[in-house]
Amino acid sequence: MGSLVVQVRRKRPEALHIVSFELARPDGTPLPAFSAGSHVDVHLPGGVTRQYSLCNDDTELHRYRIAVLRDPTSRGGSVAMHDTVREGDLVEISEPRNHFPLVHAQRSILFAGGIGVTPMLCMAHRLAATGAEFEMHYCTRSREHTAFRDEIHVSRFAAKVQFHHDDGPPQQRLDAPAVLARPEPGVHLYVCGPKGFIDHVTSCARAQGWPGDQLHVEHFGAAPIDSTGDRPFRVQLASSGAVHEIPADKTVVQALAAQGIEILVSCEQGVCGTCITRVLSGECDHRDLYFTDEEKARNDQFTPCCSRAKSPLLVLDL
């Protein structure tokens, strides 16, 4: 995956604690194409890399637009974007990647929680452009926390969007069981936002009988993992046969890096899928938010940035 140097052409507040950044090539030439649901890796000073969804219309190749929620509990990415990245700055990013694509559907239902609106906004542009049937539910704490509200109100898909605010009247809050009451073949659900929001919508969908292959989720970050019971294990590299010890307090990525074996990583939380590695033998202790339950059960790949082993040994395709 190649990298690009882009310039911050515009930085503007979109809601309380949310800022958008418009990125373009310094010479104004078109950027690589992307599709709805795509994200880019943004490389920040100090070796920090974070993923941000592209939220503009995917026909706009003169710019990429991202939006960042300032989260003081994060590991530095959002604060750096808010405080140190300014208009005119040059920033290194990856080319767009898409782990959250739209699929052909008779109808789509988009659920956006807070900053989770960013990929949904791009999806709404695409669905509206193709005349597809869809609806969008956008949930925020308040009007002041609702990024792109005015933009959505004047968009061609404004009538498709329902706003739900935690501090608003009860009748306007999201009633997920009602929205998801009738599972239908050919209707696909897309969910993005904080973990609690995702868990609420997906648990309602499953309780109502929605099949897993009609449910699509993108997480922004992993919940803290209790590592107090972690134990050492070993990994064997299939290419050389070498066996390496993974201490209880180190990830596979960290332990192998100390031996000069680099695995490409990005989020380091099991969210983005950058570090996915094939597993040839052994049982994984999956701790990611990337794979489905069915994919995890196959035990043929895992995320070495955060996942571990249940068996004493994992043989990796490295």
Token pair listed for 125: 């542009």
Q: What is the pLDDT of residue 221?
A: 60
pLDDT confidence band for 120 (50 / 70 / 90): very high
CB 269 within 8 A of CB 50: no
Domain ranges of the chain: 3-94, 107-219, 233-316
- Inform me whether the pLDDT recorded for 268 exceeds 80: no
- Inform me whether the pLDDT recorded for 30 exceeds 70: yes
- Inform me whether the pLDDT recorded for 42 exceeds 80: yes
Can you give the three-state secondary structure of 203-248, one letter per residue?
A: HHHHHCCCCHHHEEEEECCCCCCCCCCCCCEEEEECCCCCEEEECC
Distance of alpha carbon 223 from alpha carbon 240, whole angstroms:
35
State the fold for domain 3-94.
Elongation Factor Tu (Ef-tu); domain 3 (2.40.30)
pLDDT in tens, 159-182: 999 999 999 999 999 999 999 999
**CATH label, 107-219, candidates 2.40.50.140, 3.40.50.300, 3.30.1330.60, 3.40.50.80:** 3.40.50.80
Q: What is the pLDDT of residue 303?
A: 93
Mean pLDDT along residues 22-32 = 97
pLDDT in tens, 182-232: 999 999 999 999 889 999 999 999 999 999 999 999 987 655 566 778 999
Sorted by sequence, the CB contacts under 8 Å of residue 131 that are 6+ apart come out as: none
Give 225 or 289, the one with higher predicted confidence. 289
Give this prediction's pTM.
Answer: 0.79
Q: What is the pLDDT of residue 1?
A: 58
Token pair listed for 75: 């590991």
CB 268 within 8 A of CB 48: no
Q: What is the pLDDT of residue 225?
A: 63
- Inform me whether the pLDDT recorded for 108 exceeds 70: yes
Q: What is the pLDDT of residue 271?
A: 76
Q: What is the pLDDT of residue 128?
A: 97
Token pair listed for 57: 């219309």
- Inform me whether the pLDDT recorded for 279 exceeds 70: yes
DSSP 33: P
Mean pLDDT along residues 284-304 = 88
Is the Cα torsion angle 82, 88, 92, 98 positive or negative in sign? positive
pLDDT confidence band for 274 (50 / 70 / 90): confident
What separation, in Å, do the N-terminal and C-terminal C-alpha atoms of the chain show? 19
**CATH label, 233-316, candidates 2.130.10.10, 3.30.930.10, 3.10.200.10, 3.10.20.30:** 3.10.20.30
pLDDT in tens, 127-136: 999 999 999 9
H or E segment and range at residue 293: helix 293-298
Mean pLDDT along residues 127-146 = 97
Q: For the chain, give the mean pLDDT.
A: 92
Q: How many Cα neighbours within 13 Å face the side chain of 150?
A: 4
Q: What is the pLDDT of residue 232?
A: 94
Sorted by sequence, the CB contacts under 8 Å of residue 24 that are 6+ apart come out as: 6, 7, 9, 31, 62, 63, 64
Q: How far is CA 266 from CA 28, 51, 54, in A?
A: 28, 8, 17
Give 73 or 159, the one with higher predicted confidence. 159
Q: How many Cα neighbours within 13 Å face the side chain of 34?
A: 31
Q: What percent of the chain has pLDDT over 70?
A: 96
H or E segment and range at residue 5: strand 3-15
Give 72 or 31, the one with higher predicted confidence. 31
Q: Say yes or no: do domains 3-94 and 233-316 share a fold.
A: no
Environment class of 119 (CB within 10 Å of its CB; exposed 0-12, middle 13-18, buried 19+): buried
* Residue carrying structure tokens 């008779």: 106
